Structure 1
Amino acid sequence: MRTHRVLRWAVPAFLVVQAGVLGLAWWAGSGLLLALAELAALTGFAGLLLLAHYLVLRGRYAREREAARRAAERRRVADEVHDLVGHELSLIAMQAGLLELRSAGADAELAGRLRAQAERAVASLHDTVALLHGTAPDEPVTDDIEALVARARQAGARVTLHGNLDREEPGAGRTAVPTRLAVHAVVREGLTNAARHAPGSPVAVVLSSSGPPEDEAVEVRVATSEAPSGTAGPVGSADGPGAGRDGGHGLDTLRRRVAALGGRLDVRHDGGTHVLTARLPARPAGDVLTSLDRVEPSGARPLRLLVRQTAVPVAVACAAVLGFWTWASHDSTAEPEVLARFDVGLSTAELDALVPARQAPVRLARPLPPPADSTCRAYTDGNFPLAAATVEVCADGRVVTRVTELSGEPLW
């Protein structure tokens, strides 16, 4: 916000200063004053731009630190969850396995399902911890869409599954882990909303891939029909998570997760069917967590980085100014005690012994017509950075006929 404020007022302030400089030069009629005031205005404007750039660098540095803090906090939470919850889930799976061995019939089958669910929960926990650490496994258990649909069917849902994430033709690669997990989350959200708001309605889950191998895209579509008579309202009702484009927290979180991978999530109600569609790159460049916190690392504090970035252009500008001043003042500069000896009536021979070898190349005052039969030459006192001409001497071949102090002469 502070950066925008500086940039917003930098140009108007510079224009106001320019108007003041021109007005002062018109009032004083001094070219030297105009040059120095213009140099001061340009220096001030450059200072404002450097300040704005510094504020940009400082904001980016703050975002980098915040991203690093969030990443460290995620890793800490992941480790705590892994140590506490993972141990308890493993114990549950072991005890369910023992119960399965010691039971028979329906009890053994129930214990087996409990053991399998506990093992899936442990695998899901491991995948989540890996993602929080930024090192997702290559073959996560949590991307098993068929198992997710099967569990929904066991719970009484009318779900059909069509298609597959991975294409079978030659050259097609396996869908990346972050995309598989995001697709799993989309299907899970769609089935959850269907169970909550349209129990008993048919649900169709469609998986498809398209595009060339180097730019392959994955699409998942969860379509839920209207709830049968006597049940809860359809998904997308006014009070449900599917209400409107920006529905409940589940869809908002899912939309951010899909967007972090470079995908797009669409929620719509089409002819009595609620459709949840996500389209994602099969092999994105980032993942669902690091993409949210991606910043360009600067590797330095803002002030140090500002000096590093501006050192070369500032050095080049300074070298250009010094080079121009050296060229403009070389063999055209008369010392003050020499300038004091310039006077009307001074012989040309004495004048030639005093003046520098060449005239000053920069003249900011209006040239005056020379006296009759006279020629005029201008010299500088070496003023920085322009070495502008400060005195004009006119001679008729025998004596000096006129000496003009150019710093007091008008521009026009």
Structure 2
Amino acid sequence: MRTPRALAAGGTGSAVRDAALWAALAGVGVFAYQERGADGSPLLALVLPLLILAVAVPGSRKRPGAAVFLANAVCALGLADPIATASPYLAALAVLTYLLGVRSARTGAALLLFGSCAAVDLALCVLLGVGPVYWFYALSMIPSALLLPWLAGRYRRARLALVRGGWERARGLEQRQRFVAEQARLRERTRIAADMHDSLGHELSLIALRAGALELSPTLSGQDRADLAVLRAAVSDAVGHLRDTIGVVREGSDGPGGCDSSGPQADPTASSVEPVEELVARVRESGVTVDLRREGAAGALSPLVDRTAYRVVQESLTNAIKHAPGAAVRIRIVHRGARTEVRVANSAPPAGPAPAPVPAPAGARDSGHQGLTGLHERVRLIGGTLHAAPRRGGFEVLATLPDQVGPRQPGTAEGFPDDTGTASESARRLAAARRSTRRRFAVAIAAPAGLGLLFLGSAAYLAHQLTACVLRPADFADLRPGQERTELARLLPDREFRYVPDAVKALPAPPGTVCAYYRSNGSLLDQADVYRLCYAGSRLAAKDVLPGRPLTTP
């Protein structure tokens, strides 16, 4: 938060910069006024423009659009009074338009402002009946001072935003790095929880199942049954404590299953997992009917894939023992091509008496589906798919696994699509920045091209205005007073000179005549005499050569 002293210092600095900018723009105007010989009204040519700029320059900080409109009004003064030095203030208009592009991001409002300024300038040209040079000034020079600096200001604004965004991105990356370090500890706790769920929970479930089966044996004495009941109760309590422990360890993990991308990959026992056949043999010794079949030739499986297949079978058997006691379990492992399919299905539990329910192992379905959720995460991380759903009164788990896992398969790199198919935030921002850059580049090329065409059109119009009203000196010499107007038509140009200076029009003409004016040459820069032809009715009464004055630029 900025202190009052800092705010005061910032306000003072802004005022100094505004004063310096106004002084520079005013200096241009004063110099041009003196170069023109200080002719004309100093109020209209110098004082009024400087007062308007004194308001527009500081006002551009909060109202840049209004400042541009005021600067355009200063330039329009040259249309109202040809003596006023309006051209030097095009620099002020260009500077304030540049500041508009830097300080405002509203493109539509800026274009509307430019259209309004152009409409005001053109309407003023029509009302005042100005000459071709002033039309050229209104159609070419003022639009150029409005559009080109504004595009440069927009580029400057975009560049500043890019630099500012880069620093914000750097700060975000630093915060993310600290967050990743914190998550490393949570992932280790999650890995321990996953191992406890997959291994210890399974073993405890088998012990409880064996104790329940022995408790129903008719050859045991009452004391033996009581001891077995105490044993099964102790195992049940141990399973409950295990579930509570895993809940604490998994607190703050990355997902509901607690198996993030670092869990399976960081497992140090990935290459020492026991074969599925040994797992099935131990389950059969507990009294569970399990049918295991393999189909196809197993290729060189990745240790991570082999361990995942083991976990699929282990989790499925644990769920079957827990939720369908006495049901038969069928396991099919099919190796086909470069993929392995693991299908574990249990039938509906048989009717009749069954052992007392065994408490679910840590992370099983009744504790929030964490077992299957974690298993689903394991399978997804190696590029496989997992489907688990009821089937024919029982339950089926189907996992399809690749035989080999690529080095980039488990995760997604920044800037590439993730597992949901959507691009990351940085990729979206990069794409948006590229689109914006292409648009700005196209505008930067199209705007000068459009203004160039506007210049050419304005210059062509001005040249047509000046050449279509030129009466050649030789033809003027052939004209004789008393000739009919129809006889002179073949020597006269197509149109009359409409922009005769007032001082020339004020020269006395023969009484009772109507005069037409023509230029002696079509040059814009050189001095051009004006030919005056005065008619009495339909006959030429007099012809005069009036000294013209150079067409002054506004």
> TM-score, normalising length from structure 2?
0.37
Question: Which structure carries more relative contact order (alpha carbon 8 Å, separation 6+)?
Answer: 1
CA radius of gyration, larger in: 2
> TM-score, normalising length from structure 1?
0.49
